[in-house]
Amino acid sequence: MKAAALDLTSVAGGTYTEVTPMRRLAYRTLADFIPGVAPYEVAAVVEIHSVAGGVRMLATEDAMHDELWTERSTMGMNSSLDRLAKVLEAHHGGGPVTR
């Protein structure tokens, strides 16, 4: 983002479209921060599944308007998931959290 002379942070708002406690969260956000691109919605879903010895979380989101922005979005999601893993590891006494 820095190399592209874009802000490193942005304010995001969204609309939850489905909330199933302990199972699934679906939401839409507005991509309204991309220079030269008309605002459009991006949908995402987070699913939580019980597995032997723990929980598996699967996060998916729509592709963006081109490959570069889809890659940037993926990098942002991965960064968020990395931070979540660190919080969970600290909360659970340093136990492993895999991605």
- Ordered domains of the chain (ranges, CATH): 14-91 (3.30.310)
- What tokens does 36 get? 């030269």
- What tokens does 33 get? 């921060």
Q: What is the pLDDT of residue 8?
A: 72
1 falls in which pLDDT band (50, 70, 90)? low
- Name the percent of the chain lying above pLDDT 70: 89
Kindly state the average pLDDT of the residues 56-71: 94
pTM of the entire predicted model: 0.75
The 10s digit of each residue's pLDDT in 68-90 is 999 989 998 999 889 988 898 88
Q: What is the pLDDT of residue 39?
A: 92
The answer to whether residues 24 and 47 touch, using CB atoms and an 8 Å cutoff, is yes
Residue 54 has pLDDT above 60, yes or no: yes
The three-point CA angle 7-11-17 to 5° equals 135
**Stated length of the chain:** 99
